[in-house]
Every structure is written in C-alpha cells, then in structure tokens.
Structure 1
Amino acid sequence: MKINRIKELKPLVQTRFLNMYDAKYKNKNGNEKSWMIASRKGYEALADKYFNGKSDEVDAVVIAAFHEESKSLVLVRQFRVPLNDYVYELPAGLVDDNEDCVITIKRELKEETGLDIIKINEQLGSKQLYLSPGMTEESASLVYCTCGGDLSTKYLEEDEDITPILVNRDEAKKLLNKVEKMDIKAFMVLQSFVLFGEEIFTC
C-alpha cells in the first residue's frame, strides 16, 4: 500500500500556466521537511491527488512522428524563454481538461507543423511518463505515429515561435553531432531513429 508522505501543501504562487507550492513531507527517517513543487495543476486538483487519492492525469502529449512521404522524423525548432534561445524538440502540447489524448495529438501536430496524423502506433510509447520528477509532478504521454502532408507555420498561435523540420536518417545523425540545444526526449528519439530507422515507428 502506498504511503502518503506529503502532509501539507501550501500555495506560494498561482498563475495561469504554472503554480508553486511548499510541500511539507516526512523523509525516510520520519523527519518533517519542505520541498518546492512546480505544477500546472491548481491547488484543489493537486490536493485531491495527494490527499484524496484522485488519479494522476496526463498533462501533455509528446509526439514522435514519422513523415511517410519523405521517410523523415518530424522535429520543431522552438524559441524557449527560460533558455533565451532556440531548442530542437518533438512536437508537443498540453491536454485540455477532460480531453481525449488522441484529439490533443492531432491538434498539436497540425498546429505546430501543419501535418496530419495517418496512424498512431498503440504498441509503442507510453501513456504516462514523468518529465522532471525532482521539481514537478507534470507528466506526458509519449506517442509514436506516422503522418503526411506539407510543413506549414500558418496554424501557430501568436506567441509560438516554431519552425517545423523534417530530418532523414543521415540528417538526424549530423544533427546529433552538432553543438545545438536539444530537448532530452528529442535527443533519445533521434538517437533511436539513427540506429533503427523507420522500424521504431512500425514495430
């Protein structure tokens, strides 16, 4: 049976997209300690999860997409304010309240790249992975899929500074060897693509 070590949750900062909490918890020796938690969830939702046993819902989707016509992996190069720079990533986006992840996947891939889903591989990926568990309980569903169409930026929101990119296997290998800022999820999928090619999307 799971033991709840968190005894108290105090909101520190509440904003539209990110919240900060001070969590009082018992360490392995039974001593009370504090831990700073960043979360996309509001206080009531997070408290329900910690104290009332509410199920842990996925916050986002991360999309490993293979473009069938060009035999290429889909990446985006996006400006991220915390880095004050551009970074290579996989297409991704937040799941709306009570939204089916398949709807999120189709919407976010279209919005960030202009491409359309052909097929989602239900045997690969994971329904819930944790992104930085030392800082946040935020989780994402990693999805492998095939897609088609032409790259476009016309569906981007005003504050999104994104360039969609198609990289074939040789280009992926070169990109891995360049000194570029890269998201760890994109790095791992790129590495798998270089090693195994399109098989990682179809096995």
Structure 2
Amino acid sequence: MEYWDIYDRGKHVTGRRMIRNRAGRILITQRKADKEWAPLKWEIPGGGVRAGERSEETVLREVAEETGLHFTMEQGRCIHTYRSNSPAEQNNYFVDIYEFWGDFTQADVRIQDDEVEAFRLASPQEIGALGERGDFLHYHRLESLLVRPGFSEEEA
C-alpha cells in the first residue's frame, strides 16, 4: 500500500497518513425508510442550524451525531454555499457544503439508528450514478463539486 502524509491548511505535516487508494472517497448516508420526506434517499451527512448556532458548529455536531465521527474545522472547509428557494413550501434557506478529510475506516462509523439506514464510502462516480437515478438528494447542486482535482477515477 502507498501512503500519503496529511497536511493542515498551512502545509504542515499533521503526523497522520492516509492510504492513497482511499483518496476521493466520500462518506454518504441513506435516510431511514420511515422518514416522511425522502425515505431511503442517499445524502451527505448534515442538518439544520439551531438558533444561535453557526454553520461550522452545526456541521461538526450533525456529522458526529449521524456517523459517530468527530472532526475539527482544521480538518475541513466550506466548499460551496447556495440558497434554496421553495415558495410553494414557504421554505427558503441557505445550504453550506463542507468537505472534511479524515483518517477513519468503515469500522469507525457509528450510524444514528433513528436517522440513518446505511452508509458507504462512495466515489464521485458512484454518487453520480445515484444522482442520475434520482437516489441522491440535491445531486444537481453538488454535481459540479464532484468533478474537481482530488477526485479522479483512478484514486476513487
């Protein structure tokens, strides 16, 4: 196996490593079958911001609740923001999309039983296939983010 060093934002080696062939994998979760909205659809872990909470706090809390994985903001960054306008539902909101890089295995993931049916580490191509079938929530908003350096098919 080939390993890569993991660097922080300042290009300093963190002392952690990742297996090269795991690069480009994205942790996705499947919504519970009994969910009122979008049952069994796949998505990126996350959730709603509570009153008084910042977006960064929310994503760290939600990812930990849904997957059992604990990250810090030094391990991630916001890569995209969009506004969702839904006049028919009288529901307008902003969505921040974060990426986190972490050294974990599938055995480290502990899904939240009342929220998450299943999880998987998927390549951008696998997410694309789910999106094209209509099985990945908001895929049209994420598609362009998956086609960028770092997410090549050879590595995924």
Report the TM range for the smaller structure's normalisation.
0.5 to 0.7
State the 1:107 CA deviation: 0.9
1:84, CA displacement in angstroms? Answer: 7.2
Instruction: Tell me which of the two structures has the higher relative contact order, counting C-alpha pairs closer than 8 angstroms and 6 or more residues apart.
Output: 2
Contact 2:29 2:117 in 1 (8 A): yes
Equivalent-residue separation in structure 1 for 2:52 and 2:89 (angstroms): 25
Larger of the two Rg values belongs to structure: 1
**Identity between Structure 1 and Structure 2 (%):** 18
Relative distance call for 1:197 and 1:100 in structure 2 (3 A) is same
Aligned length: 124
Secondary structure of the residue aligned to 1:93 is coil
CA distance in 2 between partners of 1:133 and 1:160 (Å): 27
1:98 has 2:52 as partner: yes
Counterparts of 1:168 and 1:197, CA distance in 2: 13
Structure 2: unaligned runs, 5 residues or longer: 1-17, 152-156
Three-state SS of the structure 1 residue aligned to 2:89 is coil
Between structures 1 and 2, the one with greater strand share:
1
Matched to 2:76, the amino acid is: K
The Cα offsets for residues 53-97 of structure 1, whole Å up to 9 and x where unpaired, read as xxxxxxxxxxxxxxx752212221112533574111121212122
- Residue 148 of structure 2 is matched in structure 1 by 196
Given that 1:115 and 1:147 are in contact with CA atoms closer than 8 Å, whether structure 2 keeps it comes out as no
Measured in 2, the distance between the counterparts of 1:116 and 1:147 equals: 11
- The answer as to whether partners of 1:153 and 1:163 remain within 8 angstroms in 2 is no
Gaps of at least 5 residues in structure 1 are 1-67
Distance change in 2, residues 1:166/1:111 (3 Å):
same
Deviations 1:128-157 (A, max 9, x none): 622523312341332222231234125x2x
Across the aligned residues of Structure 1 and Structure 2, the Cα RMSD in angstroms comes to: 2.9
